[in-house]
Structure 1
Amino acid sequence: MKLSKKLLAGALAMMLGVSLVAGCGGQKEAPKNAPAQGELSGTVTASGSTALLPLLKPAQEEFQNKNPKVTVNIAGGGSFTGQNQVAAGSVTIGNSDVPLQDSLKDKGLVETKLVGIPFVFITNTDVSVDNLTQQQYVDIFTGKVSNWKEVGGKDQKITIIHRAKSSGSRGAIAEIVLKGAAFTDNAVIQDSNGAVRAAIASTPGAIGYVDAAYADQSVKTLAYNGVKFSINDVIDGKYPVYTFGRMFTKGEPTGAVKAFIDYATSPEFQNVYAEKNGFVPVTKMKK
């Protein structure tokens, strides 16, 4: 009886030893290039509003520095392009400075407000006018007024330089300023804010509009109804020419896409980069 117990104990010990050895030998090491447990990885692709590029480019760089296993690719193309591409699944984020198109409202797109986007009207530096009323802007962009002398300037032809119909900036100006009036077709069309600014800077008598972040010393910034653009005047409601920058995703964002959106809308990022790039932090916007 005692012998049987000893044999049984020995057998159990041997079985346990074999199990431990097998367990140790069967454990696989993680691939050397795999992200550490909990480390974010993946690819974020975004397209759309060129007005938002001065904000999203530093967001891209800072986010990738913090998350080296994530690749973020950001392109322009216009707000409506961004909306259409995210709805089609071509990109994971569609950046826009206009609300969602009616034709896409059944596509399951989710909106996150990113930032307040002010727009300014700019002219060539040879234009003598410093301020226009809303009605004067309407008269110019609808083609009713075609010479600067008609709005208090010198005798000089007005050349309109602005964006294509796919542009969110154009859509915002149409809604906020023109309020349903149609833009004249007698205009030079450019495909980005930067291209509009460059063309106006080199064309005597030219006028157009850009995201405030793009206005610089190469052009002249006009007042709107007597109010010169400033971040504080947007926040206080004195300067009305602004919209919201939005990030659309197909369904609720997850993984690296959600992490990038969370970072771009965070006080950590916006408090450093929004105002210095001509935007209003979304937390300061009143509506």
Structure 2
Amino acid sequence: MKKGSLVMIGGILSIMLLTLTGCETQSNSGKSITIVGSTALQPLVEAAGEEYGTENVGVFVNVQGGGSGTGLSQVQEKAVSIGNSDVFAEEKSGIKASKLVDHQVAVVGITPVVNKGVGVKNVSKKQLIDIFTGKLTNWKQLGGNDLPIVLLNRASGSGTRLTFEKWGLEGKQSKDAQEQDSTGMVRQIVGSTPGAISYMAFSYVDKTVDVLSVDEVKPTESNVASNKWKIWSYEHMYTNGEPTGLTKQFLTYMMSNKIQKQVVSKLGYIPTTQMQVSRMVDGKITPIKKGM
């Protein structure tokens, strides 16, 4: 871990940190902010936090997961400096979106992923829906190997799940199945379980799992940018009111050329400046006119 940077994730330590530090704090050892929420956004904020801590000795950026719902509820309660979310605050029940300020720092594509032994590379949108709603139960029904389909969902508070169900399943809910809070654990289980299928941010995909194309459209950054691949979301960093102090400084750093050009793309995210369209909370798509 780099000097001047502190990234703490999970377990009792995370709970204690939330309880004791709350929002921006200062002690004899330096300043710190706590950021909680989306696991899809977590790798990017961790990386930026380490870079920021290295450049600003004595500043600590504490990054934790927990899901978009946790991030939004914690920042709403002013328990943390920033709440990370894959979804608009308006999409989460119990969240007073008008009290929060949205800082869109990147775009993330989300893709269905399968165990490498299923023998399927492409499905139609209808087939994807039928898989997750339980109408299809064996990969041979899709031209694959004779293996039962094993569903794995993210937890109900997950922004990744909400985005996948909204744009991948056309608003239909996945059938009850095993759930996991951690995207890393989802990848591990899918990679080691014959017949398994789930979904995750592009930034988590590695060689241990296969991605599925949908209607012959591949889950690529260029297809997200043009909206040919529709399962994507903005990565939001919410503050309770306009940010000040260290929180404002770190958000400015997140949007700096250094982070956007060197870190965002490197980790599999898409800078918002590369998008060819914008999408509102109601789903309305508007082409972006470049050079305006």
- Shorter-chain TM range is 0.7 to 0.9
Does 1:195 pair with 2:185? Answer: yes
Does 1:259 pair with 2:256? Answer: no
1:43-93 Cα deviation digits (max 9, x unpaired): 211100000122111100111111113211000000000000111111110
Shift of residue 107 of structure 1? Answer: 6.1
TM alignment of 1:115-264, pairs within 5 A: 115-185=106-176, 187-264=177-254
CA distance in structure 2 between the partners assigned to 1:226 and 1:106 by the alignment: 37
Partner of 1:56: 45
Structure having the higher helix fraction is 1
CA distance in structure 2 between the partners assigned to 1:46 and 1:214 by the alignment: 20
* Stretch of structure 1 that moved more, 45-54 or 103-112: 103-112
CA contact (8 A) 2:75 2:83 kept: yes
The two structures have a TM-score, normalised by structure 1, of: 0.83
Higher-Rg member (1/2): 1
The SS at the match of 1:136 is helix
**Amino acid paired to 2:125:** Q
Does 1:45 pair with 2:45? Answer: no
Percent same amino acid among aligned pairs?
39
TM alignment of 1:75-86, pairs within 5 A: 75-86=64-75
**Which stretches in structure 1 are left out of the alignment for 5+ residues?**
1-32, 36-40
The SS at the match of 2:105 is strand
CA distance in structure 1 between the partners assigned to 2:96 and 2:221 by the alignment: 32
Partner of 1:13: none
CA contact (8 A) 1:163 1:189 kept: yes
CA contact (8 A) 1:265 1:282 kept: no
Classify 1:34/1:79 alpha carbon distance in 2 versus 1 (closer, same or farther; 3 Å): closer
**Amino acid paired to 1:205:** G
Aligned residues: 249
Partner of 2:274: 284
C-alpha root-mean-square deviation of aligned residues, in Å? 1.7
1:127-179 Cα deviation digits (max 9, x unpaired): 10000111111111111111112222122100011201011100111111122
**Amino acid paired to 2:234:** F
The SS at the match of 1:85 is helix
1:177-230 Cα deviation digits (max 9, x unpaired): 122212101x22111111100000110000000111111111111112211122
Of 90, 94, 104 in structure 2, the residue corresponding to residue 113 of structure 1 is 104
CA distance in structure 1 between the partners assigned to 2:160 and 2:206 by the alignment: 18
* Structure 1 stretches of at least 4 aligned residues deviating more than 4 Å after TM superposition: none
The SS at the match of 1:249 is strand
Partner of 2:60: 71
The SS at the match of 1:72 is strand
CA distance in structure 2 between the partners assigned to 1:69 and 1:85 by the alignment: 25
CA contact (8 A) 1:87 1:107 kept: no
The SS at the match of 1:75 is strand
CA distance in structure 2 between the partners assigned to 1:193 and 1:225 by the alignment: 25
CA contact (8 A) 2:116 2:210 kept: yes
Of 253, 265, 277 in structure 2, the residue corresponding to residue 275 of structure 1 is 265
Shift of residue 106 of structure 1? Answer: 5.6
CA contact (8 A) 1:231 1:275 kept: no
